[in-house]
Amino acid sequence: MFSQISSKLRSAKVRLGLALLLSSLLLLPVASVYAAGNGNGSTVLPSNSDICVKGTVINHQEKPLDDGRIVTATAEDGTSMATAVDEDGAFSFEEGLFPGRWTFAIDVVKEGEEWEPVTSASFAVTLDYSQSDCYQIRFKLRQVVTVIVVKIDENHNRLLDWEIKVQPGAGNLFAVSQDATTDANGEAIFRLSEGKWIFTEFPPEDVNYTPVVPTDGRQELEVEAPGPYTIRFKNRLNIHGCIDVLKQDVPPVGSDDSPFPLQGWKIKLLKADGSLATSGVTDALGTVSFEKLPYGPYTVVEEERVGWESATVSSYDVELSPDNTSCVQVVFDNQQAEPEYCIEGRKIDTNGKIGLPGWTITAEPLDKGDEDPDDQVTDGLGIYKFSFSGNDYRVPGSRYQICEDYEDVEGWTPRGPTCYTVTMPQSLGACVQVPAFENQQVGHGQTYTNPSSSASCRQMHTVKKGETLYGIGSKYGVSSKAIVAANTWVQKQPKLYVYVGQQVCIP
């Protein structure tokens, strides 16, 4: 009897143990869900979701810089961290980063030497957990020598607002032309790489002069480190009003917010007959000034931009006369309207496929009457974006030619098409994707020839929603091998995807 009772007790313990084990297994997902997001909104992320950023530092000849420079990373909330560049010109941030917009910057100045950025020395990158690998960024610097150009008149008075242009002479490789305007001290300061340079002077508008030294307004200088150098232009002068413009974003009615300056907006100054007198772009304070203007009537006009509307007027008539004791003040107020269509893409360096910040991208409408968007500038990852209003009937289905403005960036050459044609969707949806524009620094490789411009293309096909590269080839009776060979640019896109609005060559 006693053995039977013991056997039953053991069986009960086994069943109880199994029940407890099953209960713990059933409860495990609940605990995991709670750990992933509890009631107060906190989140526990898996260890393999850490965000990291890796980068390199190279000179303008693309050789690693191993001089221990410091790179800093700063979040919008003020969180900051720094790391040193190692002997291979590499650096990394592998701990402490969290989602958000971070600004990465590098020390450009080095004691006893002068350096300047070839690519931006500070740029912003938006980080999140969607990136499986480390974000890749890069800084490119070059050593320079200071050259001071002094501009004076025959009485040795320093002259303001004279343009000085400097161009590389024979044999000065990897050099980029520059220009500067003399300041209140009559000085224009350049930081140039070693080699031969040619300096030329240009007067302000409406200024008549006779060159004294040099007599042809042109000088040559062999620049060598460490410098600095000082050269001088001297002239005999044969000798009006100003307008200051403020452009600002005003808050909606009822808001307690204050107006905020709008940077990068073009302002035109028209003569009485409607022709262009001059133009400028607002600075970080939302201002642009027009000086040394002949007396008379002018019209100040602000640019129209998609996604914005005027809260006052878009133009002002101004009369300049000797009665003006100070600059005439003009204020443009604007309010934002939410955009709903967009075109986006990227600008990269062929060597390393790293994004190039600070490049201008243009969008030209190909159909009469379509919306003409403002130029865009690439960010720290080389990304640009054109936004269009969702309530503008001109946008759906319209065609645009998207081009990189490589001619205004000295020292770089294209390594792929410089323009693409895209078509906006008929209804709201994802941004139209443009293939990446590629460039490389002068002196590296040969200039790319666009195969799509050759006679080997029977026609160009504009990609529509749901289409694939192979499907397009099949539609025209072209093999998969032939369609890929005629569109080698698609190999740079994930899984050979093509996007709405892209142009495919049909061989």
Question: How far is the C-alpha of 317 from the C-alpha of 298, rounded, in Å?
Answer: 6
**In the numeric block, which tokens belong to residue 168?**
């590389």
At residue 128 the predicted structure's pLDDT band, cuts being 50, 70 and 90, is very high
Task: Taking residues 450-461, report their average pLDDT.
Answer: 55
User: Tokens 């504009």 identify what position?
Assistant: 462
Q: How would DSSP label each residue in 84-117?
A: E--TTSEEEE-SS--SEEEEEEE---BTTBEEEE
pLDDT 10s digits, 80-114: 999 999 999 999 999 999 999 999 999 988 887 88
> Cα dihedral angle (478, 482, 483, 485), rounded to 10 degrees?
-170
Task: Taking residues 250-265, report their average pLDDT.
Answer: 88
**In the numeric block, which tokens belong to residue 400?**
């645009």
What is residue 135's predicted lDDT score, i.e. its pLDDT? 95
**Measured between alpha carbons, how far is residue 292 from residues 288, 289, 327, 503 in Å?**
14, 10, 10, 48
pLDDT 10s digits, 292-334: 888 889 999 998 776 677 888 888 999 988 777 778 999 999 9
Does 134 or 342 have the greater pLDDT score?
Answer: 134
Domains of the chain: 47-141 (2.60.40.10), 146-237 (2.60.40.10), 243-336 (2.60.40.10), 339-506 (2.60.40.10)
Does 1 or 160 have the greater pLDDT score?
Answer: 160
What is residue 20's predicted lDDT score, i.e. its pLDDT? 44
- Per-residue pLDDT for 32 more than 80? no
Does 389 or 446 have the greater pLDDT score?
Answer: 389
At residue 368 the predicted structure's pLDDT band, cuts being 50, 70 and 90, is confident
What is residue 318's predicted lDDT score, i.e. its pLDDT? 92
What is residue 149's predicted lDDT score, i.e. its pLDDT? 97
Cα atoms found within 13 Å of the Cα of residue 80, Cβ hemisphere only: 9
Most confident of 213-217, 218-222, 411-415: 218-222
How crowded is residue 262: how many other Cβ atoms within 10 Å of its Cβ? 23
At residue 444 the predicted structure's pLDDT band, cuts being 50, 70 and 90, is low
What is residue 337's predicted lDDT score, i.e. its pLDDT? 67
Q: Which residues pair with 308 in a beta bridge?
A: 336
- DSSP run (H or E) holding 211: strand 209-213
Strand-by-strand arrangement of the 178-181 sheet: 178-181, 163-168, 195-202, 218-223
At residue 68 the predicted structure's pLDDT band, cuts being 50, 70 and 90, is confident
What is residue 36's predicted lDDT score, i.e. its pLDDT? 38
pLDDT 10s digits, 468-485: 888 888 888 788 888 888
For the chain, what is the radius of gyration of the CA atoms?
A: 31
DSSP label of 247: E
Q: Which residues pair with 405 in a beta bridge?
A: none
Task: Taking residues 231-244, report their average pLDDT.
Answer: 82
At residue 371 the predicted structure's pLDDT band, cuts being 50, 70 and 90, is confident
Across the chain, mean pLDDT equals 82
- Residues whose CB falls within 8 Å of the CB of residue 118, separated by 6 or more in sequence, listed in order: 60, 140, 141, 142, 411, 441
Question: How far is the C-alpha of 264 from the C-alpha of 285, rounded, in Å?
Answer: 10
Does 227 or 198 have the greater pLDDT score?
Answer: 198
**Measured between alpha carbons, how far is residue 296 from residues 277, 293, 324, 425 in Å?**
12, 9, 11, 48
At residue 456 the predicted structure's pLDDT band, cuts being 50, 70 and 90, is low
What is residue 443's predicted lDDT score, i.e. its pLDDT? 66
pTM of the model as a whole:
0.36
- DSSP run (H or E) holding 4: helix 2-36
User: Left, alpha or beta for 244 (phi > 0: left; psi -120 to 50: alpha)?
Assistant: beta
* Whole-number percent of the chain with pLDDT over 70: 84
What is residue 178's predicted lDDT score, i.e. its pLDDT? 93
- Hey, which bits of 293-338 come out as E strands? 296-302, 308-310, 315-320, 328-336
Q: Which of 43, 46, 45, 53 is nearest to 102 (CA)?
A: 53
- Per-residue pLDDT for 454 more than 60? no
Cα atoms found within 13 Å of the Cα of residue 468, Cβ hemisphere only: 7
At residue 226 the predicted structure's pLDDT band, cuts being 50, 70 and 90, is confident
